[in-house]
Structure 1
Amino acid sequence: MGALKQDTAIERTDPRLRALSVEGPSVLAGLHEYTSMRAYNTAVLCTEGEVVHAHRKLYLPNYLAWEERKHVSPGQSLRAYPLPRSTGGRGATLICNDAWQPVLPWLAVQDGAEVIFVPTNSAASLDPESMDTVLYWDTLLSYTARMLQCWVVFVNRVGNEHGATFWGGSRVIDPRGTVVAQAPQWEPALLTVDIDVHEARRQRRAVPLVAEARLGLIDREVRRLIDEGGDS
């Protein structure tokens, strides 16, 4: 929101990131990533003292009080990635507004993701009559987990900054769309949840909603829309 008071960007190779997972579990951490030319809103997965995956936010809000596009550039790729050996399976990261773009969770699942992590800075609605932010997230997260048959791990900020109040409500949702654990709203909390990553795989075998992707069909229709003047 607004202007940054200072440059807080760091490089992805910063040793402080690697140190997060040297003596403990893997850590998904957000950072303002610095490169030689641009900055990004990035989430990195750190495992055993190494950064093993990085996702740069793809869709940057630039409306109302949100001016993210002024400060960072959009990422250009989305990839699922292997989860740590102790967990198994594959995960994908969607940062906040990324999860509001219907095609991105679908693409992540088609790339093999069984768990979608959604680190978020969601504030209470600035205009509750036009958009109830909490209700939007409630609906979106449950729909994503149920229809894409994946785990969704939603982690939202708590606190206040520049007049925005962040509401918390972090939760874990199983591949049937059921909230299996949820943190309270408006206050900090530590939530520990054991999940069976491969429950997503079993659910997809039982009810194969996402198996028949028709990627060739999607490719043809997207190319047609681009040729007709759509956003490339």
Structure 2
Amino acid sequence: MAESIRVAAVQMEPLLGQVDHNLGRIVAGLKAAASGGAKLAVFPECALSGYGFASREEGFAHAVPLEGPETAAVAEAARETGCACIFGFLEKDGDSLYNACALVGPEGVVGNYRKIHLPHLGIDMHVDPGNRPPAVYEIAGLRVGVLICYDGAFPEAPRLLALQGADLIALPTNWPPRSECQAEHMVPTRAMENVVYFMAVNRVGTESGFRFIGASSIADPAGAVLARANDSEETILFADLDPQKSRTKRLVRVPGRHEIDRFADRRPAFYGPLAEPISG
């Protein structure tokens, strides 16, 4: 039997615009996750900066480069603990501003994702759309793909990561009220339909007039929820992942009588309209 890999979802309350404070909380959360045996800790969307900025200028004032002292501090904590990290931040790259995530291991930055689907909410009204497709990275012994919040509402995005061989799809998020259906149903559905582990890591607390609903969770490749947080408290969820379960796409339920493979059974020739923009 393959050795399992423990991951942690760190549900926390970032403070708007307080980068140094939030960085300290991320490092502390990483160390707490590692003390619980985690090899990978995932934090919410915009965990480093907060989310509810009213303008591009406000967001840019609290943005940092991908390769900067903040990711260096997280990498140092990863070296100390042996636990890798994924956290959300506002990324500045020249004159561009992105809602992004950094994947950081003991060796430094492993990967980077910039949110491609932007709702009319918070800083997402003011950032640039992500300019790279979702990708899978090797980190903490897992093949990990990252999406951010609203990205998860588009089934094409998780499927792209699954087709690239993801074992785990991480979704750092900032879900406000009326996102309860996503928290309860989307996570296990995306896991089941792609035969991958799926973890959504939300924040709690109130910011810029919005209350965030927590309810972080981790689901396995069959869609079973392995761990779920409540709606108001900072907490750390743990789950033990067996990568072989996400890499076995052919599901044999009754040998010779009930077998399915959601990848081999696809019919891409009929899916062309999925990639066509809506006219009008």
TM-score by length of 1: 0.84
Contact 1:151 1:200 in 2 (8 A): yes
Identity among equivalent positions (%) equals: 28
**Are 1:29 and 2:87 matched, yes or no?**
yes
Decide whether aligned partners of structure 1 residues 32 and 208 sit closer, same or farther in structure 2, where only a CA change above 3 A counts.
Answer: same
**Are 1:190 and 2:236 matched, yes or no?**
yes
The number of residue pairs the alignment matches comes to 214
Paired AA for residue 63 in structure 2: A
**Are 1:13 and 2:67 matched, yes or no?**
yes
Contact 1:92 1:116 in 2 (8 A): yes
Paired AA for residue 205 in structure 1: R
**Are 1:79 and 2:141 matched, yes or no?**
no
5+ residue gaps, structure 2, are 1-51, 252-259
Decide whether aligned partners of structure 1 residues 37 and 215 sit closer, same or farther in structure 2, where only a CA change above 3 A counts.
Answer: farther
Paired AA for residue 166 in structure 2: A
**Are 1:41 and 2:99 matched, yes or no?**
yes
Matches within 5 A, 1:78-157: 78-84=133-139, 86-88=140-142, 90-125=143-178, 133-157=179-203
Decide whether aligned partners of structure 1 residues 36 and 139 sit closer, same or farther in structure 2, where only a CA change above 3 A counts.
Answer: same
Question: Could you tell me how far 1:78 is from its partner in structure 2?
Answer: 2.4
Contact 1:80 1:111 in 2 (8 A): yes
Distance 1:69 1:157 in 2: 16
**Are 1:161 and 2:207 matched, yes or no?**
yes
Which residue number corresponds to residue 210 of structure 1?
263
Contact 2:187 2:217 in 1 (8 A): no
Question: Could you tell me how far 1:18 is from its partner in structure 2?
Answer: 2.7
Question: CA RMSD, aligned part only?
Answer: 2.1
Which residue number corresponds to residue 5 of structure 2?
none
Contact 1:10 1:32 in 2 (8 A): yes
Q: Deviations over 1:34-92 (max 9, x none)?
A: 01121000001001131111000001111xxx1434421011222332332x523x211
Contact 1:18 1:49 in 2 (8 A): no
Distance 1:94 1:117 in 2: 6
5+ residue gaps, structure 1, are 126-132
Distance 1:55 1:91 in 2: 11
Paired AA for residue 164 in structure 1: F
Name whichever structure is richer in strand by fraction.
2
Question: Could you tell me how far 1:179 is from its partner in structure 2?
Answer: 0.3
